[in-house]
C-alpha cells in the first residue's frame, strides 16, 4: 500500500510527511489534494462504508500527516452536518458522486450568506474561519473527499491509506462575507 510520501500533486511535487511544526497548507493546495484523492477510487473504495440510513454521514480517514488530513465522507439521502467551522483549519472538499448543498454562514448574525449546490466533480476550498453546513442534495447517495490543514490529532485505530489518481478540475469559491 502506498504511503503519504507517495502521493504526487497534479504539478508533480510529492506530498511528504512534515514534522509536527509543519506549516498549514493553503486552501488551493488542499483543493489539489482533495481532487487527487477523489480520483483515486481504486484505493479508497475497498475501505468505504455502505451508505446507511439516517444519522451522521459515514466518515473514513484516508490520510493523516502533520500537515494535512483527508476524509472520505459518504452521505445517505437527507444526511447533513450541523453548522460548523474547522477549528482554525483551511479546508477543501471534492464531490465524487452525487451533490452536496452548502450553506455558508455569516457568523456575525448566524444567517446564510450563500447557498451553493456542488455536483461531482466540483471542488471547493476555504480559508480558516469559514463556517458552513453541508447536506446531501439528492435523492441518492453522495460521496465526497475532504481535506483540512492543520489536521486534528490522529486517533489510534483509525484506518489510513493514501494513493494516487487523476481528476477533472472543479470549482473554487469563497464566501465573501467571511
Bridge partners of 80, per DSSP, are 135
pTM for this entry: 0.74
Distances, alpha carbon 32 to alpha carbons 15, 20, 104, in Å: 11, 22, 21
Residue of 36, 20, 13, 11 whose CA lies nearest to 163: 36
Torsion of CA 84, 163, 172, 176, to 10 degrees: 30
Residue of 2, 28, 27, 1 whose CA lies nearest to 14: 2
* Cell representation of residue 137: 442534495
Q: Is the pLDDT of residue 135 over 50?
A: yes
Least confident of 34-38, 99-103, 113-117, 119-123: 113-117
As a whole number, the mean pLDDT across the chain is 77
In this structure, what are the phi and psi dihedrals at residue 163, rounded to the nearest 5 degrees?
-170, -170
Q: What is the pLDDT of residues 104-121, one digit of tens each?
A: 888 777 777 888 999 999
Over residues 44-57, mean pLDDT: 78
Q: Is the pLDDT of residue 102 over 80?
A: yes
pLDDT band at 5 (very low <50, low <70, confident <90, very high): very low
* Cell representation of residue 156: 489510534
Give one DSSP letter per residue of 112-173, joined into a string.
EEEEEEEETT-EEEE-TT--EEEEE-SSS-EEEEEEEESPPPPPTT----------------
Over residues 23-34, mean pLDDT: 96
Burial per residue of 62-91, b for 16 or more beta-carbon CB atoms within 10 angstroms, e otherwise: bbbbbbbbbbbbbbbbebbeeeebbeebbb
CB 128 within 8 A of CB 176: no
- DSSP class of residue 84 equals B
CB 99 within 8 A of CB 120: yes
Amino acid at each position: 500500500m502506498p504511503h503519504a510520501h507517495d502521493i504526487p500533486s497534479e504539478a508533480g511535487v510529492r506530498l511528504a510527511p512534515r514534522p509536527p511544526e509543519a506549516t498549514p497548507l493553503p486552501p488551493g493546495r488542499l483543493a489539489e489534494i482533495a481532487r487527487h484523492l477523489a480520483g483515486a477510487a481504486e484505493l479508497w473504495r475497498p475501505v468505504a462504508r455502505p451508505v446507511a440510513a439516517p444519522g451522521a454521514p459515514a466518515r473514513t480517514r484516508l490520510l493523516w500527516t502533520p500537515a494535512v488530513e483527508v476524509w472520505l465522507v459518504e452521505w445517505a439521502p437527507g444526511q447533513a452536518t450541523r453548522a460548523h467551522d474547522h477549528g482554525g483549519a483551511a479546508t477543501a472538499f471534492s464531490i465524487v458522486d452525487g451533490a452536496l448543498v452548502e450553506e455558508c454562514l455569516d457568523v456575525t448574525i448566524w444567517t446564510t450568506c450563500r447557498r451553493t449546490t456542488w455536483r461531482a466533480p466540483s471542488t471547493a476550498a476555504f480559508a480558516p474561519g469559514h463556517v458552513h453546513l453541508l447536506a446531501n442534495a439528492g435523492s441518492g447517495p453522495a460521496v465526497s473527499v475532504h481535506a483540512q490543514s492543520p489536521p486534528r490529532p490522529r486517533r489510534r485505530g483509525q484506518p489510513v491509506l493514501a494513493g494516487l489518481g487523476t481528476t477533472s478540475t472543479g470549482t473554487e469559491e469563497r464566501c465573501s462575507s467571511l
